[in-house]
A = this chain, B = another copy of it.
Amino acid sequence: MLQPHLEALDACLEQQVEKFEPEIREHVSYSIDTGGKRIRPSLIFFSGWNSEGSVDKNLVQLAAVVETVHLATLVHDDIMDEADIRRNRATVAKKYNNATAVLLGDALFSHAVYLATQFPTNEVCREIAVSMRQVCTGEILQTMQRGDPDLDMETYFRVIDLKTAELFRVSCHLGAMLAGFDRSYIEAAAAFGRHLGIAYQIYDDMTDLFGSQEKIGKTLGTDIATGKPTMPIILMRDRLPESEAQELRETLAGKIEADVPRWLEKLKEMGIFEEVRQAIFEEIRKGREAIEHFEDNPSSLHLRTISQLLWNQVAAL
């Protein structure tokens, strides 16, 4: 049942292109056609799962809203990160220019809101607006913190909660709401989404430091080199002897050149990866706990399954 929903979503997103002004359709089409993982839409479809076997148009519409918001943030993110490539294609900022990327992201945001206003009540639109603001705030904080050698774990969690977990949370919240489930399940699904989002971001950050460079398809250790303290880096810094910790701080602050292979080796030696893995499992567990008393709702079983997929990926790292 997931596949027909994802296909309906793809069709819906393609149809959106012609709703933009003719002069920018080419740009919109380029930014939508990303072949992404569609995690947030999957959360929506699972949270609002019914057993009738038909494609739920409301869920597809909601998935189009959330995915469009997500695509807009990617377009803007790639400007911040000065990224040239995303999923084997030139980023919008690279293909056109930064100015176009800023404005195209804005146009995508606006269109997502427009799609959200197609629901009979204001609630979808209001929740999406608040989530959008939180995602942007998380990104601003991350930008401000780049190169901060003393970033603590609490602040790290605060940022990933805003920039990633919020959109996972709202996907589950609104998916369950549109399916007409009762308040207690809506809140449980939302809590599940939030913990899964935190787990996912820790995992995503972890793949920058650990894993096969060829398999992941990106250079390892860029977060160390660009001064972005993630969970493994914070844990390592706080346990190293003072002189080495100081060197890591200066690396993060950009005062000395990053010796990436050395720090990657150090992370392994210190057993940091196992600890991060356990932190991810802990978030997944918390998410599952939130929905564990709803086993009579098939939606909860599907959410559990999606959490297992992440668990397996992390275990295989």
What is A's interface to B at a CB cutoff of 8 Å? 20-21, 23-24, 27, 73, 76, 79-80, 97-100, 102-107, 109-111, 113-114, 116-122, 125-126, 128-130, 132-134, 136-137, 139-141, 143-144, 162
Closest to A73 in B: B106
Report which of B106, B133, B143 forms a contact with A99, defined as CB distance below 8 A. B143
Contacts of A103 in B (CB 8 A): 76, 80, 136-137, 139-140, 143
List of B residues within 8 angstroms of A129 by Cβ: 110-111, 113-114, 116-117
A sample of 15 more A-B contacts (CB under 8 A), given A103-B137, A125-B125, is A24-B137, A73-B106, A79-B98, A80-B99, A100-B140, A106-B132, A106-B136, A107-B137, A107-B140, A109-B132, A110-B130, A111-B129, A111-B133, A117-B122, A117-B125
Contacts A76-B106, A106-B76, A117-B126; A27 near B140 (Cβ below 8 A): yes
B122 and A107 within 8 A (CB): no
Copies in the complex: 2
CA distance A126 to B27 in the complex (A): 23
User: In the complex, what residues of B have CB within 8 A of residue A109's CB?
Assistant: 106, 109-110, 132
Bound CA–CA A111/B133 (angstroms): 6
> CA separation between A106 and B70, bound complex, in Å?
13
- Contact at B133–A110, with CB atoms within 8 Å? yes
CA distance A102 to B126 in the complex (A): 22
Residues of B within 8 A of A139 (CB): 103
Contact A162 B99 (CB under 8 A): no
In the bound complex, CA of A119 to CA of B177 (Å) = 21
- Chain B residue, CB-CB nearest to A19: B133
Name the distance in Å between A122's Cβ and chain B's nearest Cβ.
5
Return the chain B residue nearest A21 by Cβ.
B137
Given the known A-B contacts A107-B136, A125-B117, A136-B110, are A141 and B102 also in contact in the complex, defined by CB atoms under 8 Å? no
Please state if A104 and B20 are interface contacts (CB–CB under 8 Å): no
A115 to B: closest C-beta gap in Å: 8
Residues on B with beta carbons closer than 8 Å to the beta carbon of A122: 117, 119-122, 125
In the complex, which of the residues B76, B97, B128 contacts A102, with contact meaning CB atoms closer than 8 Å? B76
